[in-house]
Each structure stands twice: as structure tokens, then as C-alpha cells.
Amino acid sequence: MLGPRQSLSPFSLVELLVVIGIMAILMSILLPVTTKIRENGRRVACSANLRQLGTAMHLYMQEYDQSMCPHDDADSGNPEWRWDTIYLNLAPYYSDNHDILKCPKDRSWTRPASGATGRWWSYGFNHACGYGGAMMTTDFVDPPGTAVFFDSDESDGGVEDDGNRPYQNIASKAYRRHLQGLNVMFFDGHVQWRRPSSLTNAQFTLAQD
Ligand SMILES: [Zn+2]
């Protein structure tokens, strides 16, 4: 025969509160872990984009006698050098799949469309690699130590050593998309996640570091 207590719900209020408390603790432990896993996934997807961009760049250079596509964010009037043509020049070499120019953490990216003026690249270009004129493969004397494309939100894509868009700004928040760091593609095609403080000025010149 059941006693008065046994006739009630199998869980008492105290037991229920204990279970809820344990679940809350478990959630507080697991949430940062799952957030970090998700962030890592985005970082890996972004580095895959940059790797494809590097492949496109080298395919372009092979076809253009080892010459890099030039870039001119001052928009000097030379249509071959316009600030957005670096991406247009490379597009045939990444099969016009512009999605590879979108970092998964970049919320301001817009799909390129006829007449659209939005920024359709999540990656900045190191001006030392071809500002206002094309550099040749032989100009890159330190391929693994020369940054080319990297996480950035510059509207004209170019990142240079001047007062407006200095590469030293990499330390600013706009570039730190991934776990307080950014992905950087170097001229030899390898991609690394770097903390801004670990990048040096020499990595933004073509000279041997
Ligand atoms: Zn990214």
C-alpha cells in the first residue's frame, strides 16, 4: 500500500531544483566550448577561402608571364588597375565563385551585382605586392614572409603604409575576426591564423625579413 508521500509525483520540488541547477552548470560549461568550436569552424572556412584566392593568384601569374595583378585604390584612371579589378582579374581563376571572397565572420559583405556598390570582398591586399603597377614573381624575394591577402574590411581592398589605411591597423578590431586574430595568406600560398601582435612590418614588404 502506498504511503501519503509515495502517492505524490516521483520528483519532489527540491529534486527538480537540483536537476535544473545541474543542467544550468552543465550549460555554462558547454556553451563556451561549443562557441569556440563554431568560431574555429569559421576560421578554418575563412582560411580555405584565402587558400583558393592564393591558387587563383598564382594561376593568374602563370598566365600573365609571372606578373601580379596591379591594384590602385587611388583610382588613377587606369581601368586595368582600378581598386576593384584585382578581384575581377582573379575571378576567372576561382571560377567566378565570389563566395570565396566572403569571410564567414564578415557581416557587411554584399554579393556583387550589376550596378551594386557594396564591398564584395572580406580580404585586404598588401599594397607592397602591386600598388599602381604590376610586380613580378622575381620581386618577391621572401615568399613565405610576405603577406598578400588577409582579413580586412577596407572598402577599397588596399592596405598600405600611410596615414589612412596603414597595415599597422591590423591591430584594430576590424581585422581581428577570428578569436582575436586574423587569417593571412602569404605569397607562397600558405595561410596562417595570426595574432596582430605577431605580425611584423617586414611581412608587409617584399624584402627578406
Ligand atoms: Zn576571416
**Cα–ligand 1 centroid distance for 72 (angstroms):** 23
pLDDT at 173: 58
**Cα–ligand 1 centroid distance for 71 (angstroms):** 21
Question: Is 121 a domain residue?
Answer: yes
Residues 6+ apart with CB under 8 A from 175: 124, 150, 151, 152, 153, 169, 182, 196
pLDDT at 197: 84
**Cα–ligand 1 centroid distance for 174 (angstroms):** 11
Question: Is 4 a domain residue?
Answer: no
Question: Is 151 a domain residue?
Answer: yes
Residue with cell string 592596405: 159
Structural domain total, the chain? 1
pLDDT at 185: 96
Phi-psi region of 201 (alpha: psi -120 to 50; beta: other; left: phi over 0): alpha
Q: Write out the three cell numbers for 126.
A: 598588401
CA dist 37 to 103, 147, 168, Å?
Answer: 17, 27, 29
Question: Is 209 a domain residue?
Answer: no
**Cα–ligand 1 centroid distance for 46 (angstroms):** 5
Q: Write out the three cell numbers for 9.
A: 509525483
Q: Write out the three cell numbers for 209.
A: 625579413
Contact indicator for 209, 145 with CB cutoff of 8 Å: yes
**Cα–ligand 1 centroid distance for 41 (angstroms):** 11
**Cα–ligand 1 centroid distance for 13 (angstroms):** 48
Question: Is 2 a domain residue?
Answer: no
Give percent of the chain with pLDDT exceeding 90.
Answer: 43
pLDDT at 157: 78
pLDDT at 131: 79
Rounded Cα distance between 34 and 186, Å, is 30
Q: What is the dihedral of CA 80, 85, 87, 89, to 10 degrees?
A: -30
**Cα–ligand 1 centroid distance for 21 (angstroms):** 37
Question: Is 160 a domain residue?
Answer: yes
CA dist 38 to 32, 99, 181, 191, Å?
Answer: 10, 19, 15, 19
**Cα–ligand 1 centroid distance for 45 (angstroms):** 8
pLDDT at 141: 93
What pLDDT tens digit does each residue of the chain (209 aa) get? 555 555 556 778 888 999 999 999 999 888 888 989 999 999 999 999 999 999 999 999 999 999 998 877 666 666 666 667 788 889 999 999 999 999 999 998 988 876 667 788 899 888 888 877 788 999 999 999 999 999 988 877 777 766 666 666 666 656 789 998 999 999 999 999 998 888 888 888 888 87
Rounded Cα distance between 34 and 189, Å, is 30
Question: Is 7 a domain residue?
Answer: no
**Cα–ligand 1 centroid distance for 184 (angstroms):** 9
pLDDT at 119: 85
**Cα–ligand 1 centroid distance for 77 (angstroms):** 31
- Using alpha carbons only, give the angle 95, 72, 66 rounded to the nearest 5 degrees: 55
Question: Is 198 a domain residue?
Answer: yes
**Cα–ligand 1 centroid distance for 74 (angstroms):** 25
pLDDT at 204: 87
**Cα–ligand 1 centroid distance for 152 (angstroms):** 8
Instruction: Indicate the pTM of the whole model.
Output: 0.82
Question: How far from chain centre, in Å, is Cα 40?
Answer: 12
Residue 149 domain boundaries: 13-204
Each residue of 170-200: b (16+ CB within 10 Å) or e?
beeeebbbbeebbbbbbbebebbbbebeebe
**Cα–ligand 1 centroid distance for 179 (angstroms):** 10
